[in-house]
Every structure is written in structure tokens, then in C-alpha cells.
């Protein structure tokens, strides 16, 4: 992951949008040597197979190295640590989600009113969390880095932009952190796995929360 993270965008107008962030290091750069790119793809394929067969808990640097028939040092050089490896596995779907809400069709993408986009955004994130919850939890950064990870910052920036359009007199930066907390993988796991709540209830809760924060009527 990048060592230097961009700051939250400042309000410049109603059309501000956060810039798509690279979630992993520059290892995916097109100029990467062909052999290094192949090695990286092979490591990710081995890690994905381990997740599919045994769950995210089985993905260790040693296990991936053994599955890919390489030395453990190769895995560390390519991804840094286990969190970097797991984040790389999530990178593709995270970038797709970002592309959808930054430039995809409405209501998730531009073209819909900000409150509608905010509702669609939360539901999209919740559905993605539910599909990848095991991996999402395993890839969580350590507590000190939890709120500064690129995916979290992109989501907070996007929510902030939409709130500035919907409720410009509010402290949108702090409100965005509150809303983003509802989408935390650990909370989704607690509510769905430990409390037995269906995903539909979490989505309804998100829609209700957005309506209360923005002072709008909930969707019918």
C-alpha cells in the first residue's frame, strides 16, 4: 500500500468527486517486468485458491509460498506483509466499486441526486461486504492504520462530497466518518454472523440512517 496518502478533498463545488486511489503498491504498473508480473499473478492465484478452499485464515505468507512453489521471501518482497497480500486480493473488486460510484450509471454513479447516490452507495458496499466478509475481516489494517487505509479514505471522501451537496450547513467530514462506520466489516460481521441479522435489515437501516442525517423522506 502506498506510504503517502492524499488528503480529503476540499469543497470546491457541488460536482467534486474523490480521485480513484491505487490500493496496492506500484507492483501492478504496466512497466513491471514480465516475469515479475507473472510471479505476482501466480502468488495471487495461489492465495485465492487457499481462500476458496480453506477460508482467509489459511492465507499465510508461508502457505502462499508453498502453494506457488516459491520462497517465502518472494512473497514478502512482492506484498510486504499478510495484510498487503490480502489487500491485493481485494483490490480488483474494490477498484470496480470505486469506478461504479465515480463514473458508473446512476443512482450509484453521477447523474442522480446526492441523497439517492448516498443510499445506493451504502447498499452497494454492504452487499460487497457480505460477499467477501471473511476476506474483508482478514485484510483489516492494524487499529492505528484502520481509518487511513486507502479504501476507507476513498469512501469517506465520497460520502463527504455527497453530504456537502445534500446538507451543506453540516459538519460533513465528521458525519461522513459516522456513516462510514456503519459500513465497517467488523460491524457487518457482528450484525450478520453473531446477531443473525439478514443483509436486507442492514440495507434498510442504512436507508433510514441516510434519511435521518439528511432530513429527507425514506424511499418507499
**What is the block-wise mean pLDDT of the chain (220 residues), using blocks of 10 residues?**
40 45 47 73 86 82 92 91 86 85 96 97 94 83 83 94 97 96 94 96 97 91
Residue 124 and residue 204: Cα distance in Å, rounded? 12
* Domain 29-80 CATH class label: mainly alpha
* Same fold for the pair 29-80 and 90-220: no
Q: Residue 110: phi, psi to the nearest 5?
A: -60, 150
Phi and psi angles of residue 75, each rounded to the nearest 5 degrees, phi first: -65, -45
Show contacts of 157-162: CB within 8 Å, 24+ apart. 157/8, 157/9, 157/18, 158/17, 158/18, 158/101, 158/102, 158/121, 159/118, 159/121, 160/8, 160/9, 161/9, 161/16, 161/17, 161/18, 162/114, 162/115, 162/117, 162/118, 162/121
The number of CA neighbours under 13 Å toward the Cβ of 135 is 23
- For the record, the C-alpha cell of 145 comes out as 492504520
Q: What is the pLDDT of residue 80?
A: 92
* pLDDT for residue 121: 98
Q: Which secondary-structure segment (H or E) carries 182?
A: helix 172-182
How far is residue 158 from each of residues 44, 60, 97, 113, 176, measured CA to CA in Å?
29, 33, 12, 14, 9
How far apart (Å, rounded) are the C-alpha atoms in residues 150 and 5? 7
pLDDT at 37: 78
Q: Locate the domains of the chain by residue range.
A: 29-80, 90-220
Cβ contacts of residue 30 below 8 Å, gap of 6+?
A: none
Return the CATH class of domain 90-220. mainly alpha
pLDDT at 42: 87
Q: Which regions of the chain does DSSP assign to beta strands (E)?
A: none
Cα–Cα distance for residue pair 190/186, rounded to 1 Å: 6
Amino acid at each position: 500500500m502506498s506510504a503517502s496518502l492524499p488528503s480529503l478533498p476540499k469543497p470546491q463545488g457541488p460536482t467534486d468527486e474523490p480521485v480513484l486511489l491505487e490500493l496496492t503498491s506500484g507492483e501492478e504498473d504496466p512497466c513491471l517486468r514480465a516475469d515479475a508480473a507473472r510471479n505476482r499473478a501466480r502468488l495471487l492465484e495461489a492465495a485465492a485458491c487457499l481462500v476458496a478452499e480453506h477460508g482467509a485464515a489459511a492465507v499465510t505468507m508461508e502457505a502462499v509460498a508453498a502453494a506457488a512453489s516459491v520462497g517465502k521471501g518472494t512473497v514478502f518482497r512482492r506484498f510486504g506483509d499478510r495484510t498487503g497480500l490480502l489487500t491485493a486480493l481485494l483490490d480488483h473488486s474494490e477498484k470496480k466499486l470505486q469506478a461504479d460510484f465515480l463514473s458508473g450509471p446512476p443512482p450509484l454513479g453521477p447523474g442522480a441526486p446526492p441523497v439517492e447516490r448516498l443510499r445506493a452507495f451504502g447498499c452497494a458496499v454492504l452487499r460487497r461486504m457480505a460477499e467477501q466478509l471473511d476476506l474483508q475481516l482478514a485484510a483489516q489494517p492494524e487499529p492505528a492504520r484502520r481509518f487511513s487505509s486507502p479504501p476507507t479514505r476513498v469512501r469517506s471522501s465520497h460520502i463527504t462530497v455527497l453530504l456537502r451537496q445534500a446538507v451543506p450547513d453540516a459538519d460533513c467530514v465528521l458525519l461522513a466518518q459516522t456513516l462510514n462506520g456503519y459500513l465497517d466489516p467488523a460491524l457487518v460481521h457482528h450484525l450478520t454472523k453473531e446477531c443473525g441479522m439478514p443483509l436486507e435489515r442492514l440495507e434498510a437501516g442504512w436507508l433510514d440512517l441516510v434519511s435521518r442525517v439528511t432530513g429527507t423522506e425514506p424511499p418507499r
